[in-house]
Amino acid sequence: MTSTQQHAIKQRMLRMLEDAGITLQSSEAESFEMAGMGLDAFEREGLGLIVYVNNERYCAKELVMLPNQTCPEHRHPTVHLSDGRTEAGKMETFRCRAGKVYLYVEGDGQRDQIAATLPSGSESHYTVFHEIILKPGDQYTIAPDTLHWFQAANEGAIISEFSSASRDELDVFTDPRIRRVD
């Protein structure tokens, strides 16, 4: 993706936040991250995000997704700290602010019965199909170390994420090609 294309997509996502009534400080808009997962297919698999706060106790983010964009399947494993202690992986609550989100977690569900469309060329890297549909005002909490993935519906989506400490560099993706943090 060229820098011009990247800039245009970033502006589109910032407008989505504005249209949803989510006001950002200029420093927050400047820190907007486009997480492409190292796949060079951002509009298909990736998401935009703003981190409001992330410390050793809690994290708050806005996740912005284009129409039919997918955040690939992953989990937040147990964290092994440098002092020898361990901490449970990230627990996160997703609250849909705009659009519709198809969230998939471990549990009952069949690949051929889901509302989402698996990203072409990556189908084998999606293994959990228990479907939760989030519309504005709906929320769902994902337990630590739970495989999950999610996709925006046709109109795109905005999700507020509230979680324990976020350590994106430790996330484990089902697709070995993904690089969440370089």
CATH number of the domain to which 164 belongs: 2.60.120.10
Assigned domain for 178 exists: no
Residue 102 covered by a domain? yes
- 67 in any annotated domain: yes
DSSP 179: -
- Domain assignment present for residue 24? The answer is yes
Of residues 138 and 79, more confidence is placed in: 138
Decide if 46 is inside a domain: yes
Q: Please state the domain count of the chain.
A: 1
From start to end of 76-167, where are the E strands? 79-80, 86-87, 92-105, 130-134, 139-142, 148-163
Please give the Cα distance from 152 to 149 (Å, whole number): 11
In a domain, 41, yes or no: yes
The alpha carbon dihedral of 115, 110, 140, 164 has a sign of negative
Given pLDDT bands bounded at 50, 70 and 90, which one contains residue 181? Answer: low
**Is the residue at 129 inside a domain?**
yes
Give domain status of residue 40, yes or no.
yes
Average pLDDT, the chain: 94
Closest by CA to 64, choosing from 157, 155, 138, 139, is 157
Domain residue limits at 117: 3-173
Global pTM value: 0.94
